[in-house]
């Protein structure tokens, strides 16, 4: 009683601590998919990993939403766009909204930035023309622009750049930046992009509210102007949609599973008390898991929380194992003592498994492991200290569950063969597991995990095809000892990918070296301009302008990246740590890009989806290593306790369950990913519990109760996890399928490997 | 006297552009430019004096222009160097003597600029009201003046400080003052309104008007 009181106090303290940590934001709950993955990666020589770069890039992209407005009348379209802009600007979470043609004010700043360096800034076409001896064409163009009503030069820029080279450089730069923010007419309709920048904290409920508001504004706009069509794209729309689908699926499944478990326990005991006891045990596990995470980590990742909570779900087995034990003559202590061995060994095996998981160099797995270890220890304590306080309720021998179980046991007893034969099967199962794990291919492509809304996918494609905006981002990472080396590499890479751009394999690219040419390039440009343009044509131009023209000086300062940041803050998206980034648009042939980059040791193509998928493949690898390690430890422990032969048989139950899950999942088309591998961990933990409970309880008077407890555990687990297999979200469905197959296999093997050759049921019928 | 002058104008207009110009001549009585109809174009001569801050002499050029609401603006410089600039919805182009089109600018911002300059040249103030504060002053001598000041925080304000225009039934002078202290003074002469289609030598200069 005293222990129970202390334990209750501990639970209250833990719950209060967790609530306090979360309520005061001392611990953040991070639902951002990218925030924790890859944090533990070994740092590259320049201090930043690919996944960090991808994270920064996607986070920036994630703050942008694009709406494409289409109408038959251009003036009406622009007017409607202005109205929408005002409405969207007022939504909480919107940072700013940009319409085409609203960046004019920046031209002066850009001219001021580039003006002093104009003679070193050449467009690709001008450089080619000068190199090919066509300077006369450039001079003719200068004269024409001097008298054109549409020229953009000023007296200041003309003095700095008398041959008007800078406007051409800026035009070339704009072309490299892409069609972007412009109105397009296609198929007799005018299409206008409305670019929305979001505040940085748009996730979870904030994101949901923002998307709801946008959808409301779009339907209002369409109602008021039926000719207007609006399509939209942006990570926020996909994220909100997928989260809503997954949430809806899981909520429905959780409701059905909870009801099913409640009915199952009710039908077994004809009393609600065991159900309450089970809830207390699982609840205490959740509290302790959350407390451990809030105590050790400043930020808890949502994936860790979900998986950790799922793992703690196995603690319902502990509760059931206790609840089915008859009251006995000596009271509640006897009940716990009857299961102490099995429960203790089950806990030990699971804890060892999760410790193995924690040793992997990934913070995500560490969080899952700590959550699970703390949760299972807490559940064990609750079974020991709290469940004995509940008034005991006996299993009703005439309950439907008991009747079904007894009949099933009788049927299965016919399958029990000699211990030697079972040993051979056990050895075969154990040997087959690593071979199968090696042969079954992993599929870690994150695109296959979610289920994107077809309308959103179609909208994204329409926007990409019409405006050249959105789509999957890809980039080339340029490393190098210093900024100038990277710029030079970038210029060389740009040159090598230009045929791919011309062939349409890449729609476009923008690099830091486009905005700030390397000093070597600027110097070469100045020489070219001086020798081929100024020397032959400056006298004639002086006549026209009536001012003296200074020949470019190679020794005057050059433009460097640190000078552009204030005027062009966008260049930050072209840098990541000490690497430069060439951002690519519309890459349709990644292999071709990777091939042309091969000669460049310090540059490589990075696809965010592939990088993240590779990261999860890495996690899967570590999950496999942890799983393998824990299986070996379990084999060792089982051999110690039961002897080698029985130990192998006992151990083969969880190992065989994983094998069944792997094979069954593969046959049913389940992708073996990091997430399904984590599900195997659960199969191992539950399978080990089953076989240890049965093994420890097979010789005593509670054998049939233990078998019933394991059967109840199976039903509860299959209800909880098996129903996940019906989810429309591939990730959820995959996890559910693997666990359901694995648990049924674990239950059968646990029974089969531990059953005595002469099997007897509670009804006294002998095998 | 004034009435006789207007009658003369009316007669001239009828002679030059035919019956279609009758309506325009009628507006001559109010001494204000009438926006061009969709099926009309305006042709005339110009002199552009580009005063650049710190330059002793203005850059002076002369030539002829054609403006058509359907197509855009052609700016054909004949002095001191031959050159053609075409401003149309798709962008701004220069056309070399051998017919090559070189894009100077394109996009929505260019379209705004083309729209603005076309509106000023054709005296179509209505389309400029969203971007400018417009003050008009009609004089007794059947001429007028208009001062266009960009609205604060508008995109145009970064490009133009003030536009002053004056004229009679046509825009005669336009002065564009820029934030850089530069100033373009354009004077127009010999303006006539014609009915589309454009004469072939001009039509071919527009993107969709190049003869096969």
DSSP A73-140: -HHHHHHHHHHHHHHHHTSTTEEEEE-TT--GGGHHHHHHHHGGGGGG---HHHHHHHHTT-HHHHHH
pLDDT more than 90, % of chain A: 19
Whole-model pTM: value is 0.68
CA distances from residue A587 to A342, A376, A500 in whole angstroms, order as listed? 57, 48, 9
Residues A643-680: b if buried by 16+ CB within 10 A, e if exposed: eeebbbbbbbbbbbbbbbbbbbbbeeebbbbbbbbbbb
Distance CA B171, CA B191 (A): 9
- pLDDT number for residue B4: 34
Separation CA B173–CA B185 (nearest Å): 7
Task: Find the mean pLDDT for residues B43-59.
Answer: 90
> In a mutagenesis test of the A interface, which of B66, B83, B95, B152 is the best target, namely the one with the most A β-carbons within 10 Å?
B83
Query: For the segment A610-650, what is each residue's pLDDT rounded down to a tens digit?
Result: 888 888 888 888 888 888 888 888 888 889 888 888 899 99
Contact A334, A342 (CB under 8 A): no
Q: What is the pLDDT of residue A699?
A: 60
Determine the residue of chain B that is closest to A79 in CA distance.
B130
Q: Kindly indicate the confidence band of residue A45, based on its pLDDT and cuts at 50, 70 and 90.
A: very low
| Phi and psi at residue A622, to the nearest 5° | -70, -35
Mean per-residue pLDDT over chain B, rounded: 75
How many CA atoms lie less than 13 Å away from B80 in the CB half-sphere?
13
3-state helix, strand, coil in chain A (%, to 5): 65, 10, 25
Among A493, A508, A480, A659, CA closest to A580: A480
Residues 6+ apart with CB under 8 A from A433: A631, A655, A656, A658, A659, A662
Q: List the single range of A213-217, A306-310, A542-546 with lowest mean pLDDT.
A: A306-310
Question: A39: which 2 tokens?
Answer: 């944090």
Higher-confidence position of A158 and A26: A158
Contact list in B for residue A105 (CB cut-off 8 A) is 155, 158
HSE at residue A205, side-chain half, CA atoms within 13 A, is: 1
Assess B130–A contact: CB distance below 8 Å, yes or no.
Answer: no
**Stretch among A157-171, A326-340, B144-158 having the lowest mean pLDDT:** A326-340
Contact B159 A104 (CB under 8 A): yes
Minimal CA separation from B155 to chain A, in Å: 6
Round the CA-based radius of gyration of chain A to a whole number and report it. Answer: 34
Inform me whether the pLDDT recorded for B1 exceeds 70. no
The closest of A716, A754, A740, A753 to A257, measured between CA atoms, is: A716
**Mean pLDDT of the region B149-171:** 82
Q: Give the span between the Cα atoms of A509 and A499, in whole angstroms.
A: 12
Instruction: Indicate the pairing of strand B72-79 with strand B59-68.
Output: antiparallel
The rounded percent of chain B whose pLDDT value lies above 70 is 75
Confidence label for A766 from pLDDT (cuts 50, 70 and 90): very low
Q: Choose, out of A83, A149, A177, the residue to mutate when testing the contact with B (most B CBs < 10 Å).
A: A149
pLDDT score at A492: 93
Residue A380 pLDDT: 93
For B180, which of A105, A155, A546 is closest by C-beta distance?
Answer: A155
| Listed ranges A7-16, A507-516, A557-566, B11-20; the one with the highest mean pLDDT | A7-16
Q: Which of A150, A183, A545 sits opposite B92 (nearest CB)?
A: A150
ipTM of the complex: 0.81
**pLDDT at residue A95, as a whole number:** 84
Quote the minimal CA–CA distance from B180 to chain A in Å: 6
Mutation choice for B interface testing from A148, A151, A548 by most B CBs within 10 A = A148
Q: A122-136, A391-405, A441-455: which has the highest mean pLDDT? A: A122-136
User: What are the tens digits of pLDDT across the range A117-152?
Assistant: 988 999 999 999 999 999 998 998 898 888 888 787
Return the pLDDT at A402.
Answer: 86
Residue A475 sits at φ, ψ, to 5 deg, of -155, 165
Nearest to B83 among A101, A105, A147 (CB): A147
For B58, the token pair is 């203005």
What local confidence, expressed as pLDDT, does residue A201 receive? Answer: 64
- Six token digits for residue A751: 């029974």
CB contact under 8 A, B85 and A545: no
Q: What angle do CA B105, B110, B113 make, to 5 degrees?
A: 135
Query: DSSP string spanning A615-671?
Result: HHHHHHHHHHHHHHHHHHHHHHHHHHHH-HHHHHHHHHHHHHHHHHHHHHHHHTT--
- B126 band by pLDDT with thresholds 50, 70 and 90: confident
Which of A162, A145, A146, A157 has its CA nearest to residue A109? A157
User: What pLDDT sits at residue A349?
Assistant: 82
pLDDT bucket at B3, cuts 50 / 70 / 90 = very low
Q: Residue A149 and residue B48: Cβ atoms within 8 Å?
A: yes
- Average pLDDT value for residue range B29-42: 76
pLDDT of B5 over the 50 cut:
no
- The pLDDT assigned to B98 comes to 73
**8 Å CB contact of A105 and B75:** no
What mean pLDDT, rounded, does chain A reach?
83
């Amino acid at each position: 009683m005293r222990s129970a009181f202390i334990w209750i106090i501990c639970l209250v303290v833990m719950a209060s601590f967790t609530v306090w940590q979360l309520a005061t934001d001392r611990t953040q709950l991070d639902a951002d998919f990218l925030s924790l993955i890859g944090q533990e990666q070994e740092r590259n020589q320049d201090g930043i990993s690919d996944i960090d770069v991808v994270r920064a890039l996607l986070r920036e992209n994630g703050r942008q939403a694009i709406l494409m407005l289409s109408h038959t009348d251009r003036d009406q379209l622009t007017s409607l766009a202005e109205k929408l802009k005002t409405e969207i600007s007022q939504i909480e979470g919107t940072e700013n909204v940009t319409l085409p043609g609203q960046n004019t004010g920046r031209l002066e700043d850009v001219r001021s930035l580039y003006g002093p360096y104009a003679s070193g800034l050449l467009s690709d076409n001008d450089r080619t023309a000068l190199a090919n001896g066509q300077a006369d064409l450039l001079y003719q163009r200068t004269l024409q622009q001097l008298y054109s009503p549409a020229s953009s030069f000023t007296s200041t820029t003309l003095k700095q750049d008398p041959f008007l080279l800078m406007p051409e450089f800026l035009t070339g730069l704009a072309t490299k930046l892409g069609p972007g923010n412009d109105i397009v007419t296609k198929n007799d309709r005018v299409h206008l992009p409305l670019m929305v920048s979001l505040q940085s904290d748009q996730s979870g409920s904030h994101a949901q509210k923002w998307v709801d508001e946008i959808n409301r504004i779009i339907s209002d706009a369409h109602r008021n102007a039926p000719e207007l069509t609006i399509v939209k794209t942006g990570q926020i729309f996909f994220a909100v949609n997928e989260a809503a689908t997954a949430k809806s699926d899981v909520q429905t499944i959780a409701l059905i599973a909870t009801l099913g478990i409640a009915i199952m326990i009710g039908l077994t005991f004809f009393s609600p008390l065991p159900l309450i006891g089970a809830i207390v045990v699982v609840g205490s596990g959740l509290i302790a898991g959350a407390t451990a995470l809030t105590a050790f980590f400043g930020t808890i990742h949502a994936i860790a929380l979900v998986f950790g909570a799922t793992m703690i779900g196995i603690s319902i087995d502990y509760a059931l194992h206790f609840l089915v034990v008859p009251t006995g003559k000596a009271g509640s202590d006897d009940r716990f003592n009857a299961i102490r061995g099995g429960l203790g060994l089950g806990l030990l095996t699971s804890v060892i498994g999760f410790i193995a998981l924690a040793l992997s160099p990934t913070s995500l797995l560490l969080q899952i492991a700590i959550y699970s270890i703390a949760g299972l220890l807490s559940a064990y304590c609750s079974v020991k200290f709290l469940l004995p306080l509940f008034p005991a309720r006996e299993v009703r021998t005439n309950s439907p569950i008991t009747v079904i179980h007894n009949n099933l046991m009788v049927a299965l007893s016919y399958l029990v063969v000699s211990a030697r034969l079972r040993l051979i099967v056990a050895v075969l199962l154990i040997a087959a597991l690593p071979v199968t794990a090696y042969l079954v291919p992993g599929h870690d492509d994150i695109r296959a995990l979610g289920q994107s809304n077809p309308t959103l996918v179609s909208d994204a494609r329409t926007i990409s095809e019409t405006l050249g905006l959105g789509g999957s981002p890809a980039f080339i990472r340029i490393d190098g000892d210093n900024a100038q080396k990277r710029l030079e590499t970038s210029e060389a890479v740009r040159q090598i990918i230009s045929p791919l751009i011309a062939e349409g394999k890449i729609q476009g690219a923008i690099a830091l070296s486009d905005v700030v040419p390397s000093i070597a390039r600027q110097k070469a440009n100045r020489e070219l301009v001086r020798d081929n343009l100024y020397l032959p044509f400056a006298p004639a131009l002086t006549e026209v302008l009536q001012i003296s023209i200074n020949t470019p000086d190679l020794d005057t300062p050059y433009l460097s990246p640190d000078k552009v940041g204030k005027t062009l803050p966008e260049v930050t998206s072209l840098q990541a740590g000490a690497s430069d980034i060439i951002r690519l648009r519309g890459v349709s042939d990644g292999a071709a890009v990777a091939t042309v980059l091969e000669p460049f040791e310090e540059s490589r193509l990075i696809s965010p989806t592939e990088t993240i998928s590779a990261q999860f493949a890495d996690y899967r690898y570590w999950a496999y290593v942890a799983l393998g390690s824990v299986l070996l430890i379990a084999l060792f422990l089982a051999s110690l306790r039961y002897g080698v032969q029985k130990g192998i048989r006992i151990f083969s139950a969880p190992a065989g369950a994983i094998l069944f899950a792997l094979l069954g999942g593969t046959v049913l088309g389940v992708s073996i990913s990091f997430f399904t591998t984590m599900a195997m961990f659960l199969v191992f933990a539950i399978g080990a519990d089953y076989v240890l409970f049965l093994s420890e309880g097979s010789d005593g008077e509670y054998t049939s109760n233990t078998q019933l407890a394991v059967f109840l555990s199976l039903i509860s687990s299959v209800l909880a996890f098996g129903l996940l297999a019906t989810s429309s979200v591939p990730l959820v469905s995959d996890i559910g399928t693997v666990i359901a197959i694995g648990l049924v296999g674990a239950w059968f093997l646990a029974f089969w490997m531990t059953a005595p050759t002469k099997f007897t049921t509670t009804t006294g019928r002998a095998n | 006297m004034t009435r006789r002058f207007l009658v003369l104008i009316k007669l001239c207009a009828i002679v030059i552009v035919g019956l279609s110009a009758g309506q325009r001549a009628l507006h001559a009585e109010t001494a204000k430019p009438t926006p061009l109809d969709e099926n009309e174009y305006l042709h005339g001569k110009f002199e552009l004096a580009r005063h650049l801050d710190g330059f002793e002499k203005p850059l002076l050029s002369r030539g002829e222009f054609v403006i058509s609401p359907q197509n855009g603006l052609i700016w054909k410089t004949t002095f001191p160097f031959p050159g053609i600039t075409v401003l149309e919805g798709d962008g701004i182009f220069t056309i070399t003597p051998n017919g090559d089109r070189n894009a100077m600018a394109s996009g929505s911002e260019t379209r705004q600029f083309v729209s603005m300059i076309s509106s000023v040249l054709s005296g179509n103030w209505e389309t400029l009201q969203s971007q400018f504060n417009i003050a008009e002053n009609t004089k007794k001598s059947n001429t007028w003046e208009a001062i266009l000041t960009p609205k604060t925080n508008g995109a145009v304000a970064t490009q133009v400080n003030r536009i002053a225009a004056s004229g009679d039934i046509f825009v005669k002078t336009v002065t564009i003052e820029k934030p850089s202290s530069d100033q373009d003074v354009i004077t127009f002469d010999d303006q006539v309104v014609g009915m589309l289609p454009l004469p072939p030598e001009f039509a071919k200069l527009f993107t969709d008007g190049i003869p096969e």
